[in-house]
Amino acid sequence: MKLNRAVLVVEDEEIIRSSLCEFLEDEGYETAQAGTAAAALRIAKDRDFPIAICDVRLPDGDGVALLRKLQQLNPGLSGLIITAYATVENAIEAFQSGAFDYLVKPVIFDDVSNKLRRLFQYRELYLENQALRRELARDPGDELIGSSRAMQSVVEAARKVAVTNSNVLLVGESGTGKELLARMIHNSGPGKNDRFITVHCATRPSETLDVQLFGSTTGSGRNETSQPGALKQAGQGTVFLDELSQLPLATQAKLLRAMEHQEYLPVGGTEHVRHAARLIAATTKDLTREVSEGRVQEDLFYRLDGVKILLPPLRERLDDLPELVEFFISKHGRAMGQRVTGATSETIRLLMSAQWKGNVRQLDNAIERAVMMCNSTHIEPKDLPAELLSLGQPLPDTDDLRSALRHYERLHISRVLRQWPDKREAAKRLKLGLSSLYRKIEDLGIDL
């Protein structure tokens, strides 16, 4: 990752400010300059600076207070304070404000160069340390589990999208792993060293959601305070919008502008703020229908629908279930200190025949409960939640594939017919002709 070497210089004396910027540019740094605290805040709202050099005395405030405001806009910012007098009190105040060090007037350029070099070395080590911590703390569950063709298609699409900075739409039933996939895209993308922030679109009231997403500005002049929202806090990372269809229409309009122009207006603010975050939205709904019924803006839908990944429900990738069961047993066994190493074949057959309306999340919870209840090294059917025992019927204890598939087909068609008693609708759901459905009912001996 290329280190950001931009420095914001805030000094009211133009000669000192311009000469310092000229020196820093000769040293290979990028610079921006401001003569007042207000001008510095305006610049910092549109661009992230890892370093700010602030004079302690400014026409509209002091550098210590300014540094605190700059760190509110960018929590990762470090500062150097310029002061006319080197005293213990000045040093303590500077360090308490979050400054890395301080400079004494008249400023000696070699001193500035040495302190900036040490500060950037410190930041580089800090970023490497943070990356190592994330890697060591990374849960094996950060990767999607499954080798079925359906999941491999999802993973392949995610990898192609991840290397870009494109916004993405994830569509799938509740519990299919949309947030996990979003984290996978983030961790493989160009902004992986910045933050991944989740915003729940069902948050109410809508004003709270707007502040959470876009931030807010209150007061004016010296009394102005800013609260950064998710788009600002994420930096070049990712903002994950959980259940996009529940966003209020007014917020959707603001979000559309943020996507199209890479800028937004904080709540109570008068100036637009730029952002560089990737947006990943997720929904369980049919957005085409939501658009036609006026709950989702058409422009927003088309903006997101271009890069869309569909996550299959667990019932459509049952080949992955044994692998998922093994993973969750290992995960919960370690967490609980239980010596559970697997599940009996009867348990696996029963799990394969369950409906899994809650998808992988429901399976995770079921295995967690089973590990807790298990008194041996292998999970048995009696260890599973009662609702699974009542809904699932074990597959036949046979190696004959045709017999097993026939049994599963009977279970699946019976379930759909219970859910959709109208046979014409059931045939549509099963993607069968009506006459074919009647033949299968008779052939499989399905009791209506």
Which of 315, 317, 291 minimizes the C-alpha distance to 305? 291
Q: Which amino acid is at 363?
A: L
pLDDT of residue 218: 80
CATH class as words, domain 314-391: mainly alpha
Would you say the pTM of this structure is higher than 0.85? no
Alpha carbon distance 226, 113 (integer Å): 31
pLDDT of residue 90: 56
pLDDT of residue 128: 62
Q: What share of the chain is helix, strand, coil (3-state, %, to 5)?
A: 55, 15, 30
Domains of the chain by residue range: 6-134, 149-310, 314-391, 401-444
pLDDT of residue 134: 45
pLDDT of residue 207: 86
Alpha carbon distance 304, 247 (integer Å): 14
Token pair of 231 as six digits: 């788009």
Alpha carbon distance 48, 73 (integer Å): 9
Q: Which amino acid is at 218?
A: T
CATH of domain 6-134: 3.40.50.2300
Alpha carbon distance 314, 332 (integer Å): 20
Q: Angle at the Cα of 382 (from 376 to 383), degrees rounded to 5?
A: 55
Phi, psi values for residue 370, rounded to 5°: -65, -40
Which of 173, 180, 146 minimizes the C-alpha distance to 312? 173
pLDDT of residue 268: 87
Alpha carbon distance 10, 99 (integer Å): 14
Superfamily of domain 149-310: P-loop containing nucleotide triphosphate hydrolases (3.40.50.300)
pLDDT of residue 251: 93
Note down pLDDT in tens along the chain; length 448 residues. Answer: 345 688 999 999 999 899 999 999 998 899 999 999 999 998 887 777 888 999 888 999 888 888 888 877 776 678 888 887 655 565 566 566 567 777 888 888 888 888 888 888 887 776 666 545 544 444 444 567 888 888 989 999 999 999 998 999 999 999 999 999 999 999 999 999 999 999 999 887 888 899 999 998 887 766 667 788 999 999 999 999 999 999 999 999 999 999 999 999 999 888 899 999 999 999 999 999 999 999 999 999 999 888 999 999 998 888 889 889 989 998 999 899 888 888 887 788 788 888 898 999 999 999 999 999 999 889 988 899 877 765 545 555 555 556 667 777 877 788 788 767 888 888 888 888 888 888 888 888 887 6
pLDDT of residue 396: 53
DSSP-H helix ranges across 138-177: 149-162
Alpha carbon distance 294, 248 (integer Å): 11
Same fold, 6-134 and 149-310: yes
CA dist list (Å): 233 to 52, 90, 166, 334:
18, 30, 18, 34
Q: Is the Cα dihedral 269, 270, 271, 274 positive or negative?
A: positive
Residue 378, SS3? Answer: strand
Instruction: Answer whether the bond into residue 205 is a cis peptide, omega within 30°.
Output: yes
> Any bridge partners for residue 170, and if so which?
282, 309
Cβ of 47: how many Cβ atoms within 10 Å? 14
pLDDT of residue 8: 92
